[in-house]
């Protein structure tokens, strides 16, 4: 989280939500980091661009879902030994060989799954920011997690989030949003997806299966490089979306139906 992200007077809060897997906070892809460097696999360039644009930033850690109880006990034991002795002592080698012991993991409270983690961060941090417009960048499974949040916190999300950049996302609108007219209308105007494609960056790339909101090429055919290759385009999208933003309380937007139209005509 950037310094004073929840209390500063900056108008935009950017939330970064990565794919599912072994990725930790600040990473889009470990494979991309190994083969192409931090500029392509980490979220550092994204965070730098956000701060230069005077955004605040929250970096999520949705894949850190369990606590290793063996490691916790070892750390407590070593800490006790250190506190109880003012002189140096030899620590038995077996203290450091926990990798040979069977793993004893327990789910983290409020972060058992990426979906739980996202809901917790929304409830206790993002939702408490006042006067901020929120934008999301979500990659892979992160897109499914965002859609889950949108369904759980429908009115809150629709009134607080002004733009979402999906990157080669795993979400499924039909399964997750169903036929909710208000949600479908919202994503059409507030979401855009950058997908892996042989086409040049930003060229239309809609498919038969995904037509709910604009889709463009990420400028690469590799899933793990899509975040870095589409980054410049995403920030242009955010800037344009913020400029065009109009404040609407979606909970008060009436749904136009045939019956309501008929009543107006009769009146």
DSSP per-residue letters across 123-179? HHTGGG--S-EEEEEEETHHHHHHHHHHHHTHHHHHHHEEEEEEES----HHHHHTT
Model pTM?
0.77
Same domain, 97 and 187: no
Position 81 confidence tier, pLDDT thresholds 50, 70, 90: low
Highest-confidence segment of 82-96, 131-145, 249-263: 131-145
3-class DSSP assignment, residue 111: coil
Same domain, 72 and 137: no
Q: What tokens appear for 97 in the block?
A: 């060989």
58 domain-assigned: yes
List the domain range (segments joined by +) for residue 87: 66-107
Q: Tens of pLDDT along 222-234? A: 999 999 999 999 9
Same domain, 116 and 208: yes
- pLDDT of 87 reads 47
Which residue in 133, 148, 168, 185 sits closest to 32, CA to CA? 168
- pLDDT of 64 reads 74
User: For the domain that residue 130 is a member of, what is the CATH number?
Assistant: 3.40.50.1820
- Name the percent of the chain lying above pLDDT 90: 60
Q: Tens of pLDDT along 141-180? A: 999 999 999 999 999 999 999 999 999 999 999 899 999 9
User: Looking at the predicted structure, is the pLDDT value of residue 217 above 80?
Assistant: yes
Last residue of one domain, picked from the residues 57, 74, 107: 107
Check residue 91 and report its DSSP letter: P
Query: Cα(193)–Cα(259) distance, rounded to whole angstroms?
Result: 35
Check residue 102 and report its DSSP letter: P
3-class DSSP assignment, residue 101: coil
Q: Tens of pLDDT along 102-144? A: 556 776 666 679 999 999 999 999 999 888 899 999 999 999 9
User: Looking at the predicted structure, is the pLDDT value of residue 249 above 60?
Assistant: no
Neighbours of 154 (CB within 10 A): 17
More confident: 211 or 181? 181
């Amino acid at each position: 989280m950037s310094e004073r992200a929840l209390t500063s007077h900056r108008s935009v809060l950017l939330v970064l939500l990565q794919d599912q897997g072994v990725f930790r906070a600040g990473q889009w892809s470990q494979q991309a980091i190994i083969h192409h460097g931090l500029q392509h696999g980490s979220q550092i360039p994204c965070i730098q661009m956000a701060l230069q644009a005077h955004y605040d930033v929250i970096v999520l850690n949705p894949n850190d879902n369990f606590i290793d109880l063996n490691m916790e006990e070892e750390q407590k034991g070593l800490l006790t030994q250190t506190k109880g002795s003012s002189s140096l002592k030899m620590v038995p080698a077996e203290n450091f060989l926990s990798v040979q012991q069977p793993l004893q993991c327990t789910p983290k409270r409020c972060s058992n799954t990426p979906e739980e983690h996202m809901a917790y961060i929304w409830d206790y941090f993002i939702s408490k920011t006042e006067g901020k417009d929120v934008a999301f960048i979500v990659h892979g499974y992160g897109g499914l997690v965002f859609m889950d949040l949108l369904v759980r916190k429908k009115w809150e999300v629709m009134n607080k989030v002004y733009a979402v950049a999906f990157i080669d996302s795993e979400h499924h609108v039909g399964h997750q949003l169903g036929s909710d007219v208000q949600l479908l209308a919202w994503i059409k105007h507030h979401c855009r997806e950058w997908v892996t494609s042989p086409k040049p960056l930003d060229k239309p790339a809609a498919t038969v299966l995904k037509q709910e909101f604009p889709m463009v090429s990420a400028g690469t055919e590799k899933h793990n490089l899509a975040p870095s290759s589409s980054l410049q385009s995403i920030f242009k999208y955010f800037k344009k979306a913020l400029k065009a933003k109009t404040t609407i309380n979606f909970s008060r937007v009436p749904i136009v139906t045939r019956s309501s139209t008929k009543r107006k005509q009769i009146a």
